[in-house]
Chain A
Amino acid sequence: MEIELLEIRDFLASHHPFDQLSESALSALPEKLQMRYYRRDSAIPDSGSLDSFLYIVRTGAVELASDDELIARLGEGDVLGYRTSSLANISELHGTAIEDTLIYQLPAAEVDKLCNQHTQLAYFFGPVGGDRLRDAISQSAKESNSQLNLMTTPVKDLLSRRRPIGMPPTTTIQETAAAMSEERVSSILITEGDKLLGIVTDRDLCRRVVAEGLDYNTPAEEIMTRDPSTVEEDDYAFAAQLYMARHNIHHLPVVKNGKVTNMLTATDLTKHQTTSAVYLVGDIYKQRDIERMKEVAAKIPDLLVNLAAAEATADSAGHVITSVTDAITTRLLQLAEEKLGPPPVPYAWVAAGSQARNEQTARSDQDNCLVMDDGYDPDLHGNYFKALAQFVCDGLNACGYVYCPGEMMAITDQWRQPLKTWKQYFNKWIDQPEPKALMLVCVFLDMRCVGGEMSLFRELRSHMLNRTRGNRLFLAHMAGNALSHQPPLGFFRNFVLIRGGDHDQTFDMKHTGIVPIVDLTRVYTLAAGSEAVNTLDRLEVVAEGGEVSADGATDLRDALEFISDLRIQHQARLIKKGERADNFMSPDELSHFERSHLKDAFSVVRTMQNVLSQRYQR
């Protein structure tokens, strides 16, 4: 007997997750199927539980809903059923054929069997959509030989090739300091033969010699740290970093077979984590004029390419790139103060938007504002701060952080005000929310102090959070705002693409992918009155505080990571081609696998938007 169900086999072979199966597993699949025809508007299934089968849409379209809330629209090749009801936050799911629909049904027991035999399938059918996404992320993380991953990097991979300098215990302090300066190292080992007795670092010279007024001819052994902790060459860099942080030390002698072979410094670790960013930041602080800073800033796209190549997570890439922006901002403030003289009253330079959240990518607008001490007198001090803002904003613009189209910058008079005026602004926004105004000032709800007097900023922040915490009217408006950007998932769970114009047949990764997650996370954070600004940090905080279910927060985090990772890869591809980085992605850039997971990510966003709307808009 010979079964010729090639059409069915071929159909399965061209759709995820069955495309992951071997030839033989694929050929054995059709005979396990049952086919059902559902007339338009009829329920799927018409009896029994949705979980009893995996439903594969062959032709037609199906809507999946829970309590009249639309969860997903599925089209040809999409699957539903099988463990669907284990989705978090969803009580009861029911399917409806919204077109005449032919469905291949695979009994749940058969799917269980397949999952046992094929891990790829087990990944796909992980109990929750979010889990599935999580696996996609961890899978790609596993595959990468991430240079950035201290968890898996042994200490020996980080070391510079220079041998550590050892000196006998009788060496004077003067001599050790001279050797450090000459060799340009920050520590000296005190040894006797092969035996390690102690270590002297630049901090020891400062703390134990200069501060104590010790005689420079004192032998080094009197100030050295005796029997210092060491690390084995094969230890994980991550463990070394933890140890350093815990004991507040910056040097760890590296040991192999009981002999000191090298020295691991805190700088080795940071350098490794942010390879070129450290150099970039170091470079920035050395620059004296804007022209040179521009040259350094021009390397940021390369930095993004490097980060993408090293498979840095979007989160770490965001932190690294933002750290460069922070450095440029700080340096510009220093240069401005050098030029204009010291500020007449204290001020805080506050970054807003993506810089505040540590979520910048290759190209970002500048969003910032200036908060002055209440001793500010516009007649006396107005010109100083105007000039300061002009200098910094112009500098940022020159470095590629173009002026904010909405003028949310310190050069706008309105956004360069003393603390009391800022407090009034927030009072008005929060107590008498207006949808349009809120949309504009939303950017100031993400704030981080980059330069100047931190305490000014702290006071403003706690003023704001005290008002937002549990403020239902304001939060309802914010929730409305957060729902204004919808994920680009269409009727048939297909991508809704931009038609015509410069970005024909693409979708906007930023506004329809990332912004909805950032927005809805912000609402929960303000509701909780939390100081967290970075979206992942915020998700952690609100999950702990119970504003969002732990599963919901995890799903959102994974969705954000997944979408952001795709965006970074997309931007890196453009930069490598010599084009300008943008946020417009064509589905053709994605593998079938990525497309499927991206749809999952968008579904998560849609689900969480529904949850938000139920929570604050009813």
Chain B
Amino acid sequence: MSFWKYLFNLEERRNWYLRKKPEGPLRDYYEVPFPPMDADWKQVDYLALDFETTGLDQKRDEILSVGYTTIRGQSIYLGDATHLLTKPTGAIPESSAVVHGILDDQASEAMGIKEALPILLDALAGKAMLAHHAAIEYNFLSNACKRIYGYPFISPVVDTLALEVRQFRSRNESIKRGDLRLANARDRYGLPRYPAHNALTDAVAAGELFLAQAVYHQGKRSPTLKDLTVIS
């Protein structure tokens, strides 16, 4: 996180990083313009994304799996759905293995984050990133980019958790513990129960939640991308 975001808009910062000429995949990513913030939300392409990680410390913990799928024109395209297992450098702590179910054996057959990042960045190019509690995915991704390519990752970010908070605020309802969890938020929109903690299932789940939130967006006009993004 830096103060630059308060001085320059996303597109200016994208050009800034592009001029820094980061290494291949990240430069390729920055070469594609971001979707315009004033575009109608239906005109924007999104990548619904979820990571499973060894823990929540973005400095030390590592990405174990990446799941994502494309949302375009109000539809989730499962044809683009992808699930990547990434090999951590250390052993997988038991505390996280019980959550995501990824064991050392499986992870050892996976690709390294170096191989996974170009695939993910290619999928993200020209899209808005979408996740539930997006700060985790955003920061893990940005740290990985800094480590490998020397520069951070930026993109327009839609956070379904933040959108849900706005829903509660606009209805003047207080938020109780657990209300904002993905499964409980989905319940409120009549979305089905999925088993949690598979990166791809969670990505699809967040994507569906987003489609529901978007059609329930309060306001007279259809929301723009700016209306749905958090500052990043």
Task: List chain A positions with a Cβ less than 8 A from chain B.
Answer: 1-5, 7-8, 11, 30-39, 42, 46, 58-60, 99-102, 105
Which residues of B168-215 are within 8 A (CB) of A?
A: 189-192, 194-195, 198, 200-201, 204, 207-208, 211-212, 215
B83 x A3 contact (CB < 8 A): yes
Contact code string B61-100 (vs A, CB < 8 Å = 1, else 0):
0000001000000111111011111000000000000000
> Given the interface contacts A100-B190, A102-B191, does A30 sit within 8 Å of B201 by beta carbon?
no
Chain A residues closer than 8 Å to B195, beta-carbon distance? 7
Q: Shortest 8 CB-CB distances between A and B: which pairs?
A: A37-B211, A35-B76, A34-B75, A100-B190, A39-B215, A33-B78, A37-B212, A31-B79
B75 x A99 contact (CB < 8 A): no
The A interface is mostly helix, strand or loop, or mixed, namely mixed
Chain A residues closer than 8 Å to B84, beta-carbon distance? 1
Report A13 CB to chain B, min CB distance, Å.
15
Report B70 CB to chain A, min CB distance, Å.
10
By size class, the interface of chain B is 20 to 34
A37 x B215 contact (CB < 8 A): yes
A100 partner, pick from B67, B75, B207, B212, beta carbons under 8 A: B212
Docked pose: A79 CA to B149 CA in angstroms:
48
> Given the interface contacts A35-B211, A102-B208, does A3 sit within 8 Å of B81 by beta carbon?
yes
A1 partner, pick from B77, B82, B207, B211, beta carbons under 8 A: B82
A102 x B190 contact (CB < 8 A): yes
B81 x A5 contact (CB < 8 A): yes
B216 within 8 A of A: yes
Docked pose: A30 CA to B228 CA in angstroms:
28
Chain B residues closer than 8 Å to A58, beta-carbon distance? 192
Chain B residues closer than 8 Å to A7, beta-carbon distance? 192, 194-195, 201
| Residue among B67, B85, B190, B212 with the highest chain A CB neighbour number at 10 A | B190
Docked pose: A102 CA to B76 CA in angstroms:
11
B75 x A4 contact (CB < 8 A): no
Chain A residues closer than 8 Å to B207, beta-carbon distance? 35
Chain B residue with minimal CB distance to A107? B79
Chain A to chain B contacts (Cβ below 8 Å), 22 pairs: A1-B82, A2-B83, A3-B82, A3-B200, A5-B200, A7-B195, A8-B78, A11-B192, A30-B81, A31-B81, A34-B75, A34-B76, A35-B75, A35-B207, A37-B208, A37-B212, A38-B215, A46-B74, A99-B190, A100-B189, A102-B192, A102-B212
Chain A residue with minimal CB distance to B190? A100
Chain A residues closer than 8 Å to B200, beta-carbon distance? 3-5
> Given the interface contacts A2-B83, A7-B201, does A36 sit within 8 Å of B191 by beta carbon?
no
Chain B residues closer than 8 Å to A42, beta-carbon distance? 215
Chain A residues closer than 8 Å to B79, beta-carbon distance? 31-33
Docked pose: A11 CA to B191 CA in angstroms:
14
Chain B residues closer than 8 Å to A5, beta-carbon distance? 78, 81, 200-201, 204
Docked pose: A38 CA to B189 CA in angstroms:
10
Docked pose: A100 CA to B208 CA in angstroms:
12
| 6 new A-B contacts at CB < 8 Å, known A35-B204, A36-B211 | A5-B200, A11-B192, A31-B78, A34-B78, A39-B216, A46-B74
A1 x B78 contact (CB < 8 A): no
Chain A residues closer than 8 Å to B194, beta-carbon distance? 7
Chain B residue with minimal CB distance to A76? B192
Chain A residue with minimal CB distance to B216? A39
Chain B residues closer than 8 Å to A30, beta-carbon distance? 78, 81
Docked pose: A69 CA to B77 CA in angstroms:
33
Report A12 CB to chain B, min CB distance, Å.
12
Report A384 CB to chain B, min CB distance, Å.
73
B78 partner, pick from A32, A38, A39, A101, beta carbons under 8 A: A32
Chain A residues closer than 8 Å to B77, beta-carbon distance? 34
| Residue among A7, A11, A37 with the highest chain B CB neighbour number at 10 A | A37
Chain A residue with minimal CB distance to B199? A4
Docked pose: A33 CA to B80 CA in angstroms:
10
A59 x B190 contact (CB < 8 A): yes
Docked pose: A31 CA to B198 CA in angstroms:
17
